[in-house]
Structure 1
Amino acid sequence: MSDFSLFLQLGYQHITDVKGYDHILFVIALCAVYRISDWKKVAVLVTAFTIGHSITLALATLQLITYRTDVIEFLIPITIVLTCILNFFHKSTDIRTAKEASSKLRYPMAMLFGLIHGMGFSNYLRSLLGKEESLWKPLLAFNLGLEVGQLLIVLIALMVSFIVLEIFKAKKHDWTLILSGVVAGISLTLIVNADYFAELTGQ
């Protein structure tokens, strides 16, 4: 297996690994307000997130920016909760042909939050690189692997929504609230259990 294929696989495995489920939760939160028929909107949204995390993944891996790991691990679940809060105010409709009010904030927000998640990805990538002389090929391969895994998560999330909405006939707004509420609840536990939160609260 070539180095490119290896880092491609490692990127894919990293984002789909249930042990690092914070990134999975964020992608689910991004998709929560959409139907499978909205795949074009989701593609634009995910692209905005990808652009964001690609920038900081590159900068952090090349050591052009520095940051505290514990702060990033604290900020990532905050980005998830904020995305869920935005979902709560999304005006969903059960009429598939009707236009929904989709906040223009979602796209720049996804890119901004992608910047934070990119720093989270870079921790793992830097630990893998070791004494690699050229960083660009592993960086590109790892990022592509992340993207493939991310798109798989999007597909699964949209398929689950399709089953719930079309087969079980759940109301779309109710499903958005339930899914976003569950994701927000899990993310809140990540926030309060973070080392930086303990430092802030003097625990």
Structure 2
Amino acid sequence: MASTFQTYLQLGFFHIFNLQAYDHLVFLLALCAPYVLQEWRRVVALVTSFTLGHSLTLALATLNVVQYSPQAIEVLIPVTIVLTCLLNLARAGRPTTRPVLRPAPEPVVLAWPNLLAAVFGLIHGLGFSSYLRELLGHQSRPVLELLAFNVGVELGQLLIVGLILLLGALLLRGLSVARRDWLLVVSGAALGIALVLLVK
């Protein structure tokens, strides 16, 4: 049992770093772009909300409880990136009198960004399911495997967003890059990649 759990934990963790799943990486980049290192608790809450969403649909699709069109999901995943980037760009355009690195007084949990992340997670979970079904073969009730895979995905995501926040801190503090400029560049780059995915 421990060996099975560890195997699927590793598969979930390393699947996040698979270049074939780069759309997921781009989404995480866009999701984290508005935040700085001091706001890591808020980012963890966002990522966990996203994980809860994709864990639900990943399990339902893997167990054949829900059916979906892979072609539709291929379109909807970049749409989630586009919408996230547009929200970021709208936020960047707002005038502010706060110091650059002071966290906004937004609750860590139960805020609308967490709800939105969970909804977008529902879509991304369906994208994960085809990969996991290939791994599982004909297993009918792979509960342990699903749990381990989702935990691995969550750990991989947390590592990625940690690296994004550290890179942002280096640029904002070390090189005195303006927070608004960071948000605009990162969101603009993610938006460009998502638009390319949409027209492929």
CA distance in 1, matches of 2:41, 2:122: 22
Residue of structure 2 equivalent to 1:137: 144
Q: Deviations over 1:5-25 (max 9, x none)?
A: 111111111111122100011
1:94-133 mapped onto 2 (5 Å cutoff)? 94-97=99-102, 99=104, 104-133=111-140
Residue of structure 1 equivalent to 2:90: 89
Give TM-score scaled by structure 2 length.
Answer: 0.90
CA distance in 1, matches of 2:73, 2:119: 13
Residue of structure 2 equivalent to 1:161: 168
Query: Which AA in structure 2 matches 1:143?
Result: N
The structure with higher relative contact order (CA 8 Å, sep 6+) is 2
CA distance in 2, matches of 1:12, 1:23: 13
For the 8 Å contact 1:12–1:149, the answer to whether it is kept is yes
* Contiguous gaps of at least 5 residues in structure 1: 194-203
Relative distance call for 1:98 and 1:15 in structure 2 (3 A) is: closer
CA distance in 1, matches of 2:104, 2:10: 39
Of all paired residues, the percent bearing the same amino acid is 46
RMSD over aligned Cα atoms: 1.7
Relative distance call for 1:173 and 1:129 in structure 2 (3 A) is: same
Q: Deviations over 1:105-158 (max 9, x none)?
A: 312110100000000011100010013354101111111111111111111110
Aligned residue pairs total 192
For the 8 Å contact 1:94–1:171, the answer to whether it is kept is no
Q: CA deviation at 1:185?
A: 0.2
Give the 4+ runs in structure 1 shifted more than 2 A.
91-102, 131-134
Residue of structure 2 equivalent to 1:197: none
